Every structure is written in structure tokens, then in C-alpha cells.
């Protein structure tokens, strides 16, 4: 079974699905604080390609990452449909720029398949599992691993 911050007793998970780099991903709904329309952010010097800058969120300054760039899928082209998913992990709040948000999925634990062994540690750490939806595969993001890999939020 996957370790998705739920007890073994829980058999149903809810995920928000979205597109980044033209691919389908999802996050467990309990990790998401809000979804905002894209607005320009304040860039910071000497950051990686996946760090877009910072945004003032009701008095709190949070970092914004381009999830597509973080996963090596290229930078997200500016588009009025782009959104920022504000997520929280442990004590950190941050934003993830994605192309669009699709839907909420209710998935039984046994329908979440483990990430195949493709000999990439980064992939195995960042993608917690996959869910088959209407003939396509949606990747379940391990938010903690994504944040650890950017080293931006401690």
C-alpha cells in the first residue's frame, strides 16, 4: 500500500487533478489550501528555472514554483488559464504553477498503483503512484519529495 498520509483504515482518497507540462498529475485534496488564478509574481535573483518568485498571499510571502519546469517538462507558457495551486506540507506553504485544474477524483486505495521501477530515483521519489482514469494515467505527486528536491522550503 502507498504511504499517502492516511491511516491504513482509510480506503478512499480525494485528489485534485491538473495538467503540468501537458501531463496529468494530482495531489491529495487535504494538501491543497486554495487554487488561484495566475498573476505575475516577484522574481528573485539567483534562483533555479523552476522558481518563479514570490507571491503575497494575504500578508504571507510564499514561494511559487513552476511544476512543469521542476519535473523537467519545460517551463509553463503564460496563459490566462494557468493557475497556482497553494499547497501546504508540514509547516510550509507554497504555490505550484500548473496549466489548468481538471477535476476532483475519489479513488479507492487499491486503485492507486505503485510507480513502476524505471530506474530513476527522482521519479520514484516525486511520483507516489499512478491512477488509471478513462484510459489515461494520472500521477500522484509526493509533495514532500518535490519540496525536498527544490530545497526551497524548510
Query: 89: helix, coil or strand?
Result: strand
State how far the Cα of 101 lies from the Cα of 25, in Å rounded to an integer.
10
State how far the Cα of 154 lies from the Cα of 145, in Å rounded to an integer.
12
pLDDT attached to residue 149: 62
pLDDT attached to residue 7: 52
Q: Locate cell 533555479: which residue?
A: 48
Q: Which residues of the chain have pLDDT under 70?
A: 1-10, 149-154
pLDDT attached to residue 154: 35
Query: 119: helix, coil or strand?
Result: coil
Amino acid at each position: 500500500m502507498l504511504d499517502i498520509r492516511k491511516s491504513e483504515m482509510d480506503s478512499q482518497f480525494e485528489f485534485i487533478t491538473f495538467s503540468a507540462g501537458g501531463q496529468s498529475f494530482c495531489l491529495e485534496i487535504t494538501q491543497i489550501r486554495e487554487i488561484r488564478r495566475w498573476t505575475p509574481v516577484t522574481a528573485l535573483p539567483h534562483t533555479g528555472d523552476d522558481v518563479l518568485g514570490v507571491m503575497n498571499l494575504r500578508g504571507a510571502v510564499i514561494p511559487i514554483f513552476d511544476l512543469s519546469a521542476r519535473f523537467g517538462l519545460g517551463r509553463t507558457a503564460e496563459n490566462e488559464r494557468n493557475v497556482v495551486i497553494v499547497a501546504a506540507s508540514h509547516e510550509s506553504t507554497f504555490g505550484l504553477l500548473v496549466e489548468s485544474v481538471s477535476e476532483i477524483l475519489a479513488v479507492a486505495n487499491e486503485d492507486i498503483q505503485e510507480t513502476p521501477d524505471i530506474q530513476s530515483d527522482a521519479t520514484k521519489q516525486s511520483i507516489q503512484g499512478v491512477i488509471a482514469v478513462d484510459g489515461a494515467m494520472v500521477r500522484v505527486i509526493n509533495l514532500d519529495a518535490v519540496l525536498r528536491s527544490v530545497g526551497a522550503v524548510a
